[in-house]
A and B are shown apart, each in its own frame.
Chain A
Amino acid sequence: MPEMIDQIFVLLKHWLLAYVPAALQPIVSAVLSVVPVLVAFPLLFAITTVLERKGLGRMQNRYGPNRVGPFGILQPMADGIKSLTKEDIIPRTADQVVHFLAPVMLVIASFVVYSVLPIGKNMVLANLNAGVLFFFAVGSMVELSVFMAGWSSRSKYSLLGAMRAIAQMISYEMPLVLASVVVIMAAGSLSTVAIVNMQAGYTGIWPRWYVFTPWGLTGFVIFMIAATAESNRCPFDMPEGESEIIAGYYIEYSGFKFALFFLGEYLGMFATSAMAITLFLGGWAAPFSFLTWIPSYVWFFVKLLIIIMAFIWVRGTLPRLRMDQLMNFAWKFMLPLSIINIVGAGVWHLIPAGFTRWLIDSLLVIVSCVLLSRGIRRGKSFHVRTYRFAS
């Protein structure tokens, strides 16, 4: 019975396909696979906006949205209707075509990456041989749409925002890719399905996820920090810092195009989180062997929601980084650490299983972490900041 519930969506699809003439089956099968993804993730986006505003409100001692529906849960509907009925304003000097294409391209790229993410057992749109590579390749199209949006608006704020965003995205894409290289080394495959399958199985009740190894944990932390920067979220929200350049590269967009940028940004965040789950947290696998009766897609979304919660928590807690701090952190700390981490993963493969490789790998990571942070700190003195007029 648990297997049937686990596979219910797959079975449903095959049952529906049986009623379709053979000639149309490939097209209908593709539609039946794609539509749920196109529905589920924007829905998750709607839920996340409420959760985020409520959560941030709680952290900042205020209520957050509480007027639309019970506890304000219908807020995204109100937001959607508002952005649909707003006037679509295009600046007179803007480059009309590029201005229109930018949000379209962003949303397309954000949706296309979901095709390689395994959402549940046997639930992946395309099991590509080079799935991880596909993910990063399509993800890099987002940068181009950010540039298009920032440049075509012909606004100084937009251009500044786009420059900041692209500089940040390029810098953090390297640690992002290098952090996932360790998993590719361990799994010996670029296919997301194969990576999840390699992490299947349990020792005792504990799972064999890559995050439970020294290099996996380091890779996961680097991946998540870089993912925060890639999705332009706090504390890396320089490109759209509300207090400095208002909204960054999409300031000149209004109405539904603005909503599309918002959607694209959140979809990108979900996709990178889902990639982190696939690479390091065992994909759709249950965290304990006695919990495998819960369907795989439930586990996937539970993990995704936990990561989203962490994102909201970080946003409510940390202040924004300065541009030089951002760049120094990316190039002088994250990049060397992720390269050392690759060496660590190689060492892990060469040494037979046991206590020794745990010790060597942990030492390698901890020592390099300490040395690199010392290197960043060199020549700077930190002290409690005092405000003269207040004391």
Chain B
Amino acid sequence: MTITFLLLAATTITGTAAAMSLKNLVHCVLALTLGLVSLAALYLQLGAQFVGFTQILVYVGAVAILAAFAIMMTRSAEPAVLTGSSSFRVSGALIALVVFAVLGWAVWSGTGALAVLGPEPEAPVNEIGVALMHRFVLPLEIIGLLLTAALIGAGILAMDETRRTK
């Protein structure tokens, strides 16, 4: 429990809480980005360079930008007034509680795994690469296939629209 950890944890929680509570959608995206960046900083603090940088690259460089782009393309610059009904809030709170319970249970029952952690590897990035190419090659290929399918699907969707307008 160092002071860096406490600061980063506070920023993460503030960012994600602001992402849920702010009225303006763009502010929400920016607050979410803050939360994701401080999460990446937490990874870095744990010594996981590769995971931390990938988190920034994927979530800030791609996901946040994509969300921002979608907002720019679809909405006017005026802040949207959101009126959530109470039943929506109740079900949302229920789902959040269930997810939190599952996560908490997983973390609680998984603490035994800490004991089997070996010494820190010399070149963590190399080991991640080797593991991806040997032990986890099937999940990697499946994810690659899924992403390729998504890419082609997006292309086809975009193509169809231009054909209709012709």
Contacts and interface: CB of A to CB of B under 8 A. Distances in A.
Contacts of B62: 140, 170
A133 B61 contact: no
B104 interface: no
Nearest to A150: B72
B57 interface: yes
Interface in B54-110: 54, 56-57, 60-62, 64-65, 68-69, 72-73, 77
B50 A133 contact: yes
B107 to A, nearest CB: 26
Interface in A67-121: 95, 98
A128 B49 CA distance: 8
A151 B57 contact: no
Contacts of B33: 144
Interface stretch (A7-15, A158-166, A265-273): A158-166
A259 to B, nearest CB: 24
Contact of A137 (B24, B57, B69): B57
A190 B61 contact: no
Nearest to A169: B65
Interface in A153-184: 154, 159, 162-163, 166-167, 170, 173
Contact of A144 (B24, B68, B77): B68
Contact of A140 (B50, B60, B69, B123): B60
A364 interface: no
Contact of B65 (A134, A143, A154, A190): A143
A313 B57 CA distance: 32
A151 B65 contact: no
Contact of B72 (A139, A159, A170, A173): A159
Contacts of B30: 98, 144, 148
Interface of A: 95, 98, 128-130, 133-134, 136-141, 143-144, 147-148, 151, 154, 159, 162-163, 166-167, 170, 173, 188-190
Interface of B: 24, 26-27, 30, 33, 49-50, 53-54, 56-57, 60-62, 64-65, 68-69, 72-73, 77, 123-126
A-B CB proximity, top 8 nearest: A140-B61, A137-B56, A137-B57, A133-B53, A137-B53, A130-B49, A147-B68, A130-B50
